[in-house]
Amino acid sequence: MRNSIRLLAFMVAFIFSGHLLAQQGNARGTIGESPYNVIRGWAKPFQESGFSFGGNSGVWAESPDRIIIAQRGETVLPYPIPDNFPGYAGSLGINVLRDTNRRTWQNCLYTVNGNGEVQELWNHLDYLCEGSAGPGPHRVRISPYDPEKKIWLVNETFHQIYVFSNDGSEVLATYGEKGVLGDDETHFGRPQDVAFLPDGRILIADGLDNHRVMIMDSEMNYLGEFGGYGDGPGQFNTIHAIGVGPEGRIFVLDRAGGEVNLFRTTSDPAVVEFELSIGAPLTLPLDIIVNENDFWITDLGPLRFINFDFEGNIKYTWLVPRDLPDGYLEVHTFSVDGEGNLYGGDNQYGRTQKFVPKPGADSELLIEAPWVAR
């Protein structure tokens, strides 16, 4: 009888541990509680009847009261719409990334305040996305070194990058040729991200087709590039995001390669040196924020935030909920404002949510706004 009880206890423990492993996937290091609370219902719907948010692919918190959102159009909702519809298509079982037949290219860029209420609709810029047979806008960024705070939008489908005035009223520059894939000094192959070095140089993550990072001067003139397709040191499969840190560090997130590659600038403005591969095997890393002494990424399998130091050691991991109403299918992009609030864009459920630090949360576990040279 006693042996039977021991066997039953062992089987229960084995099943339970297997369930935990299934939940954690290939997560390593300390997995702890999220240091944030989700503000439920933060993103306030503003669309016309019959439409909802599209895939929120780009989010940039310029300040606690101005968050810029790039979305992959809006989503056409089924009829009739439930009376208790909370405003995002994922609540109806719609995956806005997959259900492209529901996508309409309208209201692709807008801003919200700290309460999630729309402040500016830049639908006069929708023409930059119209006619796209692919995902369209991918990232939105602002250089911390630009006094005019110009807004950069990366459009992967059209192989272009746009620069807007901060109020969104004017397109100041367009780089790349619409619909033309190329790997020379003036063309892109489904670019994914842009980052800014303190000396004015600009880094273009020309990542899905060209597997390179382009180094440009402050006027977007070509200086050089690094990377290339492969699994060797300093090579990439699909570059999805890029971040800049102290002492010349450049972090390039390889989505299909399942790792983050660390490079360093050199005395030659056209050349960087490979230093270290970090994190492998990650499942599907999506975005990155670099802080003073470490960096954070989002990853799938399980859906999580992971904190690494610059030597590649995992410091902390917290899992992102999947279950609605607060859950995610993917944190495609994330941004942090000056007050420490975290914003995560979901490219599949179709919305952005706001996370606020829990009272008494350990500051070491909180993501800071991106590193800036002082």
Q: What is the CATH number of the domain that holds 145?
A: 2.120.10.30
Q: How many C-beta atoms surround the C-beta of residue 362 within 10 A?
A: 11
The two three-digit tokens of residue 143, written as one number: 């250089």
Does residue 356 surpass a pLDDT of 60? yes
DSSP category for residue 4: H
For the chain, how far is it from start to end, CA to CA, in angstroms? 70
Taking alpha carbons only, the member of 264, 258, 268 closest to residue 301 is 258
List residues bridging with 319 in a β-sheet: 304
Taking alpha carbons only, the member of 65, 38, 142 closest to residue 339 is 65
DSSP category for residue 364: G
CA–CA distance, 208 with 92 (Å, rounded to integer): 31
Question: Is pTM, for the whole model, over 0.75?
Answer: yes
Is the residue at 311 inside a domain? yes
Is the residue at 173 inside a domain? yes
Q: What letter represents residue 371's amino acid?
A: W
Tell me what pLDDT residue 281 has.
Answer: 87
Provide the domain count of the chain: 1
Q: Which domain holds residue 339?
A: 30-365
Q: Report CA 7 to chain centroid distance, whole Å.
A: 47
Is the residue at 101 inside a domain? yes
Tell me what pLDDT residue 46 has.
Answer: 97
Is the residue at 373 inside a domain? no
Is the residue at 210 inside a domain? yes
Tens digits of per-residue pLDDT, 268-314? 999 999 999 999 889 999 999 999 999 999 999 899 999 999 999 99
User: Region 49-58: what's the mean pLDDT?
Assistant: 98
Is the residue at 18 inside a domain? no
Tens digits of per-residue pLDDT, 171-217? 999 999 999 999 999 999 999 999 999 999 999 999 999 999 999 99
Tens digits of per-residue pLDDT, 130-164? 999 999 999 999 999 999 999 999 999 999 999 99
Is the residue at 220 inside a domain? yes
Interstrand relation of 287-290 and 272-278 (parallel, antiparallel or unpaired) = unpaired
Is the residue at 43 inside a domain? yes
Does residue 39 surpass a pLDDT of 70? yes
Does residue 121 surpass a pLDDT of 50? yes
